């Protein structure tokens, strides 16, 4: 069966490799025809995953209609801030879709499935989320993730089509909780990195990550998700991975900010998107709209807006009124 992978960044490339590993015919779509030709010729994505060879089962194209034709499932693997533009430009095709980007859209404050449903209201859709670094999935190292969707048939199809012995997939019926976890963990990882970069210690990072988990759980429930989802792969699991070390783009950005580097300079030196930067203010605004306070995420929003320093953010969090946990 054929799977279309729409988006040829690091994660899209890794998922194309994984889908081939699961025995599927795969078409990887890149928006830029020149990049599509380069990847097809080199049989590798030199820009994002240079050490990962594309299996023979993976074709590469810049034609979205070609990618979607005959596909049993499409994986949309683009940054959340580009999601609306990409979906609007895609051909109308009734191919079930799993969204693989994590964040909250600036402006609309929509989660990815909300953005997609506003554009394609009748399309069967869910999310693929979990604690996954692209380079490890591409290498075939053991990993797990969740296919979360309201549609049971889509959940089962996603697990069956993408799973393999080294890539364990679970079906989940709480896509809202999964999306909130994926968005919030990027923001909290910036805070975790900033704490370490500023030399504030591991105790501070552990406390911050734990309180961040409480924040994402509160927001998930307020938006219609379930608290227990926050304790699973798409919540705690993803949070632990993203806050654990500099292999995370969001964690490494926080490290740089904690050391006193300027945000613009850090971003200018990167090829990939650091989703937490745009997500932080959007996430805080979305939470405020449902009466949920996110102190850690709000501090990150102010930090990336350069309204406060890491030290000032720390002092603000420590000065909050005492309360029961």
Q: What is the CATH number of the domain that holds 304?
A: 1.10.1040.10
264 with 186, same domain: the answer is yes
Q: How many folded domains does the chain comprise?
A: 2
Secondary structure element (H or E) that encloses residue 45, with its range: strand 44-45
136 with 243, same domain: the answer is no
∠229-113-180 over CA atoms, to 5°?
35
Q: For position 291, what pLDDT does the model report? A: 98
159 with 227, same domain: the answer is no
Indicate the pTM of the whole model.
Answer: 0.95
Q: What is the pLDDT of residues 77-95, one digit of tens each?
A: 999 999 999 999 999 888 9
Indicate whether 323 belongs to any domain. Answer: no
Paired tokens of 48 = 């994002």
Q: What is the dihedral of CA 245, 302, 128, 17, to 10 degrees?
A: -50
Q: For position 170, what pLDDT does the model report? A: 98
Please say which residue of 125, 141, 173 terminates a domain: 173
pLDDT band at 318 (very low <50, low <70, confident <90, very high): confident
Q: How many angstroms separate the Cα of 187 from the Cα of each of 184, 213, 286, 294?
A: 5, 11, 14, 11
Q: How many residues are there in the chain?
A: 325
- Mean pLDDT computed over 37-46: 97
122 with 244, same domain: the answer is no
Measured distance between the N- and C-terminal CA atoms of the chain, rounded to whole angstroms: 49
What is the spatial distance between Cα 28 and Cα 293, in angstroms, rounded to a whole number? 40
162 with 308, same domain: the answer is no
- HSE-CB at 290 with a 13 A cutoff on CA atoms is 16
pLDDT at residue 308 tops 80: yes
pLDDT at residue 199 tops 80: yes
108 with 208, same domain: the answer is no
User: What domain range is 276 assigned to?
Assistant: 176-318
What is the spatial distance between Cα 46 and Cα 16, in angstroms, rounded to a whole number? 15
Please say which residue of 158, 173, 188 terminates a domain: 173
Coil, helix or strand at residue 53:
strand
Indicate whether 237 belongs to any domain. Answer: yes
Indicate whether 286 belongs to any domain. Answer: yes
Q: For position 93, what pLDDT does the model report? A: 85
pLDDT band at 149 (very low <50, low <70, confident <90, very high): very high
- Mean pLDDT computed over 27-32: 97
Indicate whether 201 belongs to any domain. Answer: yes
Contacts of 74 (CB under 8 A, 6+ apart): 3, 4, 5, 6, 67, 68, 93, 95, 96, 97, 98
On average, the pLDDT of the chain sits at: 96
Please say which residue of 173, 190, 210 terminates a domain: 173
Q: For position 196, what pLDDT does the model report? A: 95
Paired tokens of 4 = 């279309």
10 with 156, same domain: the answer is yes
pLDDT band at 123 (very low <50, low <70, confident <90, very high): very high
pLDDT band at 321 (very low <50, low <70, confident <90, very high): confident
242 with 153, same domain: the answer is no
Contacts of 165 (CB under 8 A, 6+ apart): none
Coil, helix or strand at residue 253:
helix
pLDDT at residue 246 tops 80: no
Q: For position 245, what pLDDT does the model report? A: 72
- Mean pLDDT computed over 227-251: 94
The answer to whether residues 323 and 305 touch, using CB atoms and an 8 Å cutoff, is no
Indicate whether 298 belongs to any domain. Answer: yes
Active site positions, annotated: 185
- Mean pLDDT computed over 151-166: 97
192 with 98, same domain: the answer is no
CATH number at residue 152: 3.40.50.720
Indicate whether 325 belongs to any domain. Answer: no
Q: What is the pLDDT of residues 256-301, one digit of tens each?
A: 999 999 999 999 998 888 999 999 999 999 999 999 999 999 999 9
Q: For position 33, what pLDDT does the model report? A: 97
90 with 238, same domain: the answer is no
Indicate whether 324 belongs to any domain. Answer: no
pLDDT at residue 121 tops 90: yes
Indicate whether 16 belongs to any domain. Answer: yes
- Mean pLDDT computed over 57-73: 97
189 with 307, same domain: the answer is yes
Coil, helix or strand at residue 209:
helix
288 with 193, same domain: the answer is yes
């Amino acid at each position: 069966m054929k799977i279309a992978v729409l988006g040829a960044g690091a994660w899209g490339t890794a998922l194309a490799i994984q889908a081939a590993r699961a025995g599927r015919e795969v078409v990887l779509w890149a928006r830029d025809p020149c990049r599509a030709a380069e990847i097809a010729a080199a049989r590798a994505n030199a820009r994002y995953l240079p050490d990962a060879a594309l299996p023979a089962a993976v074709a590469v194209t810049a034609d979205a209609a070609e990618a979607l034709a005959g596909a049993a499932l499409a994986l949309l693997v683009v940054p959340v801030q580009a999601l609306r533009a990409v979906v609007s430009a895609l051909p109308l095709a009734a191919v079930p879709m799993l969204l693989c980007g994590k964040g909250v859209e600036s402006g609309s404050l929509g989660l990815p499935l909300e953005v997609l449903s506003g554009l394609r209201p009748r399309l069967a859709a869910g999310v693929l989320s979990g604690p996954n670094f692209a380079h490890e999935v591409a290498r075939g190292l053991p990993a797990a993730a969740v296919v979360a969707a309201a549609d049971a048939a889509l959940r089962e199809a996603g697990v069956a089509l993408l799973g393999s012995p080294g890539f364990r997939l679970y079906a989940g019926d709480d896509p809202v909780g999964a999306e909130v976890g994926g968005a919030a963990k990027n923001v909290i990882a910036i805070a975790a990195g900033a704490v370490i970069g500023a030399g504030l210690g591991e105790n501070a990072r552990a406390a911050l990550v734990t309180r961040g988990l409480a924040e994402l759980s509160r927001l998930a429930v307020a938006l219609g998700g379930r608290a227990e989802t926050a304790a699973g792969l798409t919540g705690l699991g993803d949070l632990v991975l993203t806050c654990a070390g500099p292999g995370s783009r969001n964690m490494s950005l926080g490290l740089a900010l904690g050391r006193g580097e300027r945000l613009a300079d850090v971003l200018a030196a990167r090829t990939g998107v650091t989703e937490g930067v745009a997500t932080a203010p959007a996430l805080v605004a979305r939470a405020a709209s449902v009466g949920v306070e996110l102190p850690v995420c709000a501090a990150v929003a102010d930090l990336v807006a350069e309204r406060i320093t890491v030290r000032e953010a720390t002092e603000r969090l420590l000065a909050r009124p005492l309360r029961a946990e």
